[in-house]
Amino acid sequence: MKILIIGAGGREHALAATYAKSNRVKKIFVAPGNDFMEETSSKIQVFPQISLLDFDSMLSLVKKYDIDLVDVAQDNVLAEGFVDKLSKYGIPAFGPKKAAAEIEWNKDWARSFMKKYDLPIPRYKSFSNKTRALSHVKQLPEQTLFIKASGLALGKGVIKAENRKEAYAAIVAMKQFHTAGKTFLIEEGMTGEEFSLFAICDGKRYVIAGCAQDHKTVYNGDLGPNTGGMGCVAPTTLLNQQLFSQIKRTILNPFIHGMLLEDRPFTGIIYLGGMLSKKGPQVVEFNARWGEPEANVILPGLQTDYIDIVEAVMMQELMTKAVRFDNKVRISVAGCAIGYPTEYSKIKGKKIVGLTVASRLPGISVFGAGIKRKGKDYVVNGGRIFHLVAEGDNIAKARERAYTAMSHISVEGNNLHYRTDIGWRELARKAKK
């Protein structure tokens, strides 16, 4: 089979590496992809010259290379309805249709859906008018609030406000997200630990496919601004079997049935951004795809052939397929340009040293994100440059391996930043036992 993955980052690299393991898959094209992906397997070919949302070019690729299946992996591509468009041409496409993906690209609709089907969520109100939003905050008791852009904002559309004054500023700041921030939500803060749980869905049924903990802020100790994700651990011991059952009963079952009732059957990967609060598991948000960096720590542990799973989903026969994972622990550390997520334009084009060496160490994989080839070198082409993943029998071993491997990598002019405390919650839990 020949697969086309639409997307560019570490998630798509992890997906390409997963498809490459299948004897049934002969070739994987990734558009746009990034140059570092081709290091993983001779089956992988990238097209960085194609723009992500250029549907006509994607269609030309499908025809030229006689592609059997398109995996639409990235949020904004799903929001543009690429799965619907490909289906109209009779091209098999894996991922939710636009109406189902709305659970991610329209947080206002998503919250009203969750309310209607009684999923556990915090109290919230949505606004398209700044003045009304300001007076709403004025009449609320002083408390932590989250101001969220309703549309897609590269994972940065949420502002935490510790008090009224910060909430006023956050409401005003929604304009930085342009159309995505035109409608925004004001949600009461929840306290607890966050988790990212994934389920593969065929519209009517689902299978849980891993749970990880992301580290969203740029600096150690969970400090600094939010990013697309600075590192990740899977599996996480935050959730036990009883909590998994509770999540199925109170969140995933009503989600899958509610989407069916709304005539938006969800086919693909649902990503529950959850919070384990004092009230039990709550929904922070849903995403309609694998997470980055979560995919990097979950997919390498998959023992079932991914193409078999994808086909079972597309035939609505998911339950006939066992989805098996190994029992290793994996930790992912994001290597970023100094200045990310704010200002890092001066770092673009700088040489990255040691990537290939690190990626060939035992138990290590490196997934490229903001990377491109320049002559014989790889250079920086984005804020999150790569995700280094280490596996081990336990968190301590995986972590030691990850940071030893990281020490081989640098960016010209000492311009590489990464957190050195990824996995701290998992380690702290272990120490308590």
Closest approach of Cβ 375 to ligand GLY, in Å? 32
Q: What are phi and psi of 390, to 5 degrees?
A: -120, 145
Q: What 3-state class would DSSP assign to 207? A: strand
With a CB cutoff of 8 Å and minimum separation 6, the contacts of 407 are none
Scanning 217-225, 288-296, 307-315, 414-422 for contacts with ligand GLY by CB under 6 A, the matching segment is 288-296
Size of the site for ligand GLY (CB under 6 A): 8
* Residue 248 DSSP class: I
102 binds ligand GLY (CB under 6 A): no
Q: Binding residue for ligand GLY (CB under 6 A) from 151, 265, 291, 368? A: 291
Residue 4, beta-bridge partner list:
29, 70
Quote the CA–CA distance of 267 and 205 in Å, as a whole number.
9
Angle of the 164-173 helix axis to the 130-139 helix axis, nearest 10: 170
Residue 374, beta-bridge partner list:
377
426 binds ligand GLY (CB under 6 A): no
Residues across the chain: 433
Of 295 and 364, nearer to ligand GLY (C-beta) is 295
Of 119 and 152, nearer to ligand GLY (C-beta) is 152
Instruction: Please give the biggest Cα pair distance in the chain.
Output: 61
Closest approach of Cβ 293 to ligand GLY, in Å? 6
With a CB cutoff of 8 Å and minimum separation 6, the contacts of 266 are 96, 100, 103, 201, 203, 255, 256, 259, 288
Of 287 and 381, nearer to ligand GLY (C-beta) is 287
Closest approach of Cβ 346 to ligand GLY, in Å? 26
Q: Which residues in 229-268 contact ligand GLY (CB under 6 A)? A: 229
214 binds ligand GLY (CB under 6 A): yes
Of 154 and 172, nearer to ligand GLY (C-beta) is 154
Of 234 and 352, nearer to ligand GLY (C-beta) is 234
Amino acid identity at 261: L
Two tokens, residue 39: 């290091």
Q: What 3-state class would DSSP assign to 203? A: strand
Quote the CA–CA distance of 307 and 28 in Å, as a whole number.
12
CB 388 within 8 A of CB 349: no
292 binds ligand GLY (CB under 6 A): yes
Closest approach of Cβ 75 to ligand GLY, in Å? 7
Instruction: Please state, as a whole number, how many other Cβ atoms lie within 10 Å of the Cβ of residue 123.
Output: 10
Strands 364-368 and 384-392: antiparallel
Phi-psi region of 378 (alpha: psi -120 to 50; beta: other; left: phi over 0): beta
Scanning 118-126, 200-208, 290-298, 399-407 for contacts with ligand GLY by CB under 6 A, the matching segment is 290-298
Closest approach of Cβ 229 to ligand GLY, in Å? 4
Of 4 and 369, nearer to ligand GLY (C-beta) is 369
Closest approach of Cβ 179 to ligand GLY, in Å? 19
Scanning 115-123, 234-242, 258-266, 286-294 for contacts with ligand GLY by CB under 6 A, the matching segment is 286-294
Scanning 43-51, 285-293, 400-408, 421-429 for contacts with ligand GLY by CB under 6 A, the matching segment is 285-293
Q: Which helix (H) or strand (E) holds 379?
A: strand 377-380
Q: What are phi and psi of 296, to 5 degrees?
A: -70, -25
155 binds ligand GLY (CB under 6 A): yes
Strands 329-337 and 384-392: antiparallel
Strands 371-374 and 266-277: unpaired
Quote the CA–CA distance of 279 and 305 in Å, as a whole number.
38
210 binds ligand GLY (CB under 6 A): no
157 binds ligand GLY (CB under 6 A): no
294 binds ligand GLY (CB under 6 A): yes
12 binds ligand GLY (CB under 6 A): no
Of 230 and 318, nearer to ligand GLY (C-beta) is 230
b/e map 234-243, b = 16+ CB within 10 Å = bbbebbeeeb
Scanning 134-142, 233-241, 287-295, 398-406 for contacts with ligand GLY by CB under 6 A, the matching segment is 287-295
Closest approach of Cβ 160 to ligand GLY, in Å? 16
- Indicate the residue whose CB is closest to ligand GLY: 291
Closest approach of Cβ 339 to ligand GLY, in Å? 20
Residues of this chain that bind ligand GLY (CB under 6 A): 155, 214, 228-229, 287, 291-292, 294
